[in-house]
Amino acid sequence: MNLHEFQAKQLFNRYGVPTPQGQAVTDAAEARQAAELLTGERWVVKAQVHTGGRGKAGGVKVVDSVDAVEEAAQGMLGQRLVTHQTTAEGLPVNQVLVEKPTDIQREIYLAVLLDRSSQRIVFMISAQGGMDIEAVAEEEPEAILNLYVDPVVGLQSYQCRRAGFFLGLTGAAFKQLQQVMQNLYQLFTENDASLVEVNPLVVTGEGDLLAVDAKVNLDDNGLFRHADLAEMFDPSQEDDAEVIAREFGLNYISLDGNVACMVNGAGLAMATMDLIQKEGGEPANFLDVGGGTTAERVAEAFKLILSDKKVKSILVNIFGGIVRCDLIAEGIIQAAREVELSLPAKEVELALPVVVRLEGTNAAIGRELLANSQMSIYAAQDLTDAARKAVAAARESNA
């Protein structure tokens, strides 16, 4: 789960990481009031969306009057911001952050993340803050320092000093870096984060460190321990279908193709998508219904697929180990009836061609249920045959 910048900064402040003074607002009049309360002669207005590259896309504006603050907020709120990290539709701007500007002398990149290959929390540090870290990593890998933290002893003081020397910090900033790193490490571990990023962490004109930007990603699997953080979830920043999938415990990611997949198991789902591409098609989604699914969850999964207007065919690929194939079949039938898919009695064809491959526990019963459901479904002998039939059906639907 991602947090907005203003939410991440609230968390930073809770852990003693300094950030600029600011206030998140939902309308232009509130933005004006926030600027007046902050006082000063200049302000920064930032669109609150779950994407990077806001500045280049017009989502960050520096203005020099309260009228301009109100105007900038009015221009952002209610609009959709398109960046290089979003789709062409962009993301809705429902809140803006009004802040005091910072006297920036230096910009530093600092991130804490989980490195699965080493099974360690790692600090990524670079003197080239404010830039795309991906470009820095590719063009100048020596400009990035990686510090791996032993989970037994935690972040050590010598590692923080090494980071300070690497960055060439002196005076108060050198001393403050150790506290900032220790506080971010504590924030990361205590809140089950998967990424904490400060880009940039700046050295101000007074020689102090300040987190001008803040990004926090949380591990969904740990949210049950953090009810206060779970309440910060903003569904407007997510794909509608993915939000619904989350409610029913489904793993769903929308893609750009036209062959929909419903599979049990992430590995099998990825293999299914690979075979669809091998046969010349493009998958429309990643959808894992899980091992301990029910007919109701399968029905919801099927309805999610049908809500995607790009979909031209559906491939259901179930290997019954923990999950029973007859439950999957019941779910498909239930979904078909709920969304009023075709029945021969109505002399209407299925809205979308469906290819089903069932193997494993109660597979024969599942196939029998589908055969007796009076629905037009293509049976597949194996996975390759299923992918080939689903791709061919999608092509015929486009013709």
Q: Could you give the CA distance from residue 328 to residue 308 in angstroms, rounded to a whole number?
A: 20
Q: Which two tokens stand for residue 290?
A: 């899980």
Catalytic residue set? 109, 197
Q: Judging by beta carbons within 10 Å of its beta carbon (0-12, 13-18, 19+), is residue 349 exposed, middle or buried?
A: exposed
43-47 β-sheet, strand order: 22-25, 96-99, 43-47, 60-63
175: left (phi over 0), alpha (psi -120 to 50) or beta: alpha
- Written as six digits, the tokens of 385 are 């045959």
Residue 335 φ/ψ region, left for φ over 0, alpha for ψ in the -120 to 50 degree band, beta for the rest: alpha
SS3 of 39, please?
coil
- Residue 212 · residue 20 · CB < 8 Å: yes
Q: Using the Cα atoms of residue 343, residue 349, residue 354 and residue 359 in order, give the sign of their dihedral.
A: positive
DSSP 107-126: EEEEEEEEETTTTEEEEEEE
Q: φ and ψ at 197, to 5 degrees? A: -130, 135
How far is it, in rounded angstroms, from Cα 125 to Cα 110? 5
What is the rounded distance in angstroms from the CA atom of residue 52 to the CA atom of residue 132?
A: 9
**β-sheet bridge partners, residue 45:** 61, 98
Query: 3 with 11: CB under 8 angstroms?
Result: yes
Helix axes 66-76, 28-38, angle to 10 degrees: 140
